[in-house]
Amino acid sequence: MNAIWIFLVSSIGYLVAYHTYGRFLAQKIFKIDPNAQVPSKELADGNEFVSSERQVMFGHHFTSIAGTGPIVGPAIGIIWGWGPALVWVFLGAILMGAVHDFGVLMLSVRHQGASIAQVAGEWATPRVRSLFFMVIFLALLIVMAIFGLVIAIIFKQFPQSVWAVWGEIPIAILFGTWILKQKRVSLGVGTLLGVGALYVLVALGAMVPFEMPSIAGIPATGVWTIILLAYAYIASVLPVGTLLQPRDFLNAWQLYVALGAIIIGMIVTAFGPGLPMVAPVLALSPAGAPPLWPFLFITVACGAISGFHSLVCSGTSSKQIASEADVQYIGYGSMVTEGLLAVVVLIAVGAGIGLSYTSADGQILQGTAAWYAHYGSWSASAGLGSKLTAVVIGFANMMASIGISEKMGVAIVGVFIASFAGTTLDSATRVQRYMISEYFATTGIKWGQNKWVATGIAVITALLLAFSSGPNGAGALLLWPMFGAINQLLAALALLVLTLYLQSKGGRAYWVTGLPCLLLTVLTVWACTLNQVTFWQSQSVLLILINGNILALSLLMILEMASIFRKRAKLAHEQVRQ
């Protein structure tokens, strides 16, 4: 099959879903009120609660939720065939992921920007809230440590990306001050200037790559991890309008330009030499791979649904929404856009890689031979670097058809991936600070609510995890095998809170979140249990303890919230009978 038809049908499908199911959620399920008071205006402080234009918010929110999830996930999940991965990304994003993101964002906006854990305490019990805090803290701890390492690996593997990623910081601060706050020029002109400056730095990186040396016996990845987490500390305590928001907005436009070049390259290739899918449609038993059920659904995570999104929706975004009327555009719209990105990645690793691939022994391969050289077995494509390599090769091959050199193509894609990961690290650190502050607020401990202290706890714990296995900063990778399942379990818990909220409104509206919640709960508990068995067999004590604790905490929450749902349903039924 020519990959262009997959892209076109998916694009149209996501657009139709936004204007039909997204509108149904907005008007019939959550009954959006454009005139309702929102936290960004009611609690405006110029620091965390900042009313923002919807275009700016879309850029901030989209880049924060996306990260490398919709890139790495599909690049792994395609080993079971592009068919199952595509179906999950397409239907999962429309019926589950976008519903999850829209709902949590709406719920937090209506609860003064409170986190999903705080909201759970209101619609369930204080015990559920405390358990939720524990699960979220552990999940964000892993996210911070992993994404710090992910960017470090990208900088080491693609040194062409360094100048643009770091140069973006002063550009974003100037953009936030002169354009968003002082409005010296229009947003359109400012965006053109800011993105133009970024691409000058991309070109500089292609010509003069920067390679970090080892310092004091610490390898380059370890040095970058320290620098990145130190930066995340500073970014987390600054007002959102100073760095976080303008950086994410410019990141989004830089990513749109890069994605546009990739898509144009895809179209030119497809209608020129051709762009056939060289990956198999279905591969039920790839060599060495775990079973498709349930692992596909936790591997291809962010492109379909992600629990991390609930933390961004109820962490930073709900505090900046200017009107309830913007929630569909930002919540539902960002998720289906991320789904489309995941489709483009599937095409890159399922078709683009077949245009040209250099094997380990130097052979230039094409077609199915190229795909199987990289994806012949689970171990052959193992490792984060391998996944990123497949994506970069696929993207660069497609962009070559429009005259972009391999050197420039690698620089563009390297910045593309590193920027996504960087915005996620920023947001994760800020959200972790919120979680820690909120938790200490429930205990009455004042010093823990201080943003400097809370951020310090967030960053120091992430550093300890990152360096737990040595100076290379790769300690978080020890926890990577369980991250996908925990991330999706978090999404199931958020959907359960949404279901309780909708149930309280009467009627049957809760089924729009209840059915996705049921399916995802079964899949993720199943996956976490299988992981626990694997960890036990391999005697991985750390993984056994953390995965076991999170699974136990989550099961307690599920049972308690399910009991509340059942009691309310029974009461409603009795009232109807009377």
**What mean pLDDT do residues 350-359 have?**
89
314 pLDDT above the threshold of 80: yes
pLDDT at position 455 is 95
pLDDT at position 377 is 81
- Which residues, in sequence order, are bridge partners of residue 215? 218
pLDDT at position 422 is 85
Q: CB of 8 within 8 A of CB of 290?
A: no
3-state DSSP percent of the chain in helix, strand and coil, to 5: 75, 0, 20
From residue 341, how far is each of 66, 293, 304, 486 by CA, in Å? 9, 23, 11, 23
From residue 169, how far is each of 201, 243, 280, 546 by CA, in Å? 12, 7, 42, 35
523 pLDDT above the threshold of 60: yes
pLDDT at position 12 is 97
From residue 204, how far is each of 154, 169, 208, 412 by CA, in Å? 17, 16, 6, 11
Structure tokens, 202: 């991309």
From residue 392, how far is each of 199, 365, 396, 415 by CA, in Å? 18, 16, 6, 11
Share of the chain above pLDDT 70, in %: 97
Average pLDDT along the chain: 88
Sign of CA dihedral 350, 221, 148, 528: positive
210 pLDDT above the threshold of 80: yes
**What mean pLDDT do residues 80-91 have?**
96
- Which residues, in sequence order, are bridge partners of residue 358? 364
112 pLDDT above the threshold of 90: yes
pLDDT at position 555 is 87
Structure tokens, 219: 């390898």
Tell me, letter by letter, the H, E, C secondary structure of 415-465.
Answer: HHHHHHHHHHHHHHHHHHHHHHHHHHHHHCCCHHHCHHHHHHHHHHHHHHH
CA 122 to chain centre: 26
Q: What is the pTM of this model?
A: 0.91
Provide CB contacts within 8 A for 335, sequence distance 6+: 65, 93, 97, 98, 100, 101, 102, 309
479 pLDDT above the threshold of 70: yes
Can you tell me the distance from the alpha carbon of 548 to that of 281, in angstroms, rounded to the nearest whole number?
Answer: 35
pLDDT at position 363 is 83
Q: Does domain 3-81+90-109+129-577 have CATH number 1.10.4160?
A: yes
Can you tell me the distance from the alpha carbon of 411 to that of 355, in angstroms, rounded to the nearest whole number?
Answer: 19
Range picked from 10-24, 46-60, 182-196, 426-440 for highest mean pLDDT: 10-24
Share of the chain above pLDDT 90, in %: 43
**What mean pLDDT do residues 243-263 have?**
87
pLDDT at position 460 is 95
576 pLDDT above the threshold of 60: no
The string of pLDDT tens digits covering residues 355-389 is: 988 877 778 888 999 998 888 887 766 666 677 78
Provide CB contacts within 8 A for 289, sequence distance 6+: 79, 80, 295, 377, 378
Least confident of 4-8, 176-180, 518-522, 557-561: 176-180
- Look at 384 and 531; give whichever has higher pLDDT: 531
pLDDT at position 573 is 62
Least confident of 164-173, 329-338, 376-385: 376-385
Sign of CA dihedral 124, 128, 133, 135: negative
Can you tell me the distance from the alpha carbon of 338 to that of 351, in angstroms, rounded to the nearest whole number?
Answer: 20
pLDDT at position 196 is 92
Structure tokens, 196: 């133009």
